[in-house]
Amino acid sequence: MIDLSAYAGIVFDMDGTLIDSMGGHLQAWQQTCEAFGYEFDFDFMYGLGGVPTLATIDILNEKYQRDHDPQQVAKRKHEFWLAMQHQPVVIADTLAVLDNYKSIMPVGVGTGAERDHAVQLLTDTGLIDKIQALVTASDVRQGKPHPETFLTVAKQLGVAPSKCVVFEDTQIGYQAAQRAGMDCILVKDGKIQV
């Protein structure tokens, strides 16, 4: 088990870090891109993991010189996601860390997902009762790579940012953790990178 004794709080990203849902999201994004005339670039879209949906659409509009209504595109992406009836699976490595440390220090989740979606996924996977704080795209003004998400989790946990460690699967999330003054451990393909 990874030694986190130097910290007083743990913050997990959700999609791709605690829950293996990135594949489903990328599939929904691919359908969305095709529906709205954006080129779908798997690596580019994966790199935007953790960025709130509306901000992702702003990025796509700018990159591909489109002016689609972000609310309309987000609604369609959500419809594609729901139609897949994706069954979320918890990532074993990060679940083991959460289960090992949840009685030792407070644990929170900081995600770029909207609140309703995050609560549903965390409830469906039995994780909601294991965390003390949840900060979503619905709760902040600026999504990752801005540090607001992780700073808000730390505040809710009552732990100084410098005493928190973040688990993340994207570079954007890593940047957000660094900007929040937190150490960050990357998770790649469901495995903790140490």
- Measured in whole angstroms, the distance separating CA 2 from the mean position of its chain's CA atoms is 21
Q: Which of 92, 91, 89, 101 is nearest to 2 (CA)?
A: 101
Which among 3, 13, 20, 99 is annotated as catalytic? 13
- Residue 61 tokens read as 């509009």
In the annotation, is 13 catalytic? yes
**Contact by Cβ (8 Å): 167, 10:** yes
Alpha-carbon distance of 114 to 138, in angstroms, equals: 5
Strand order in the sheet with 191-192: 133-135, 107-110, 9-12, 164-168, 183-188, 191-192
Active-site annotation, residues:
13
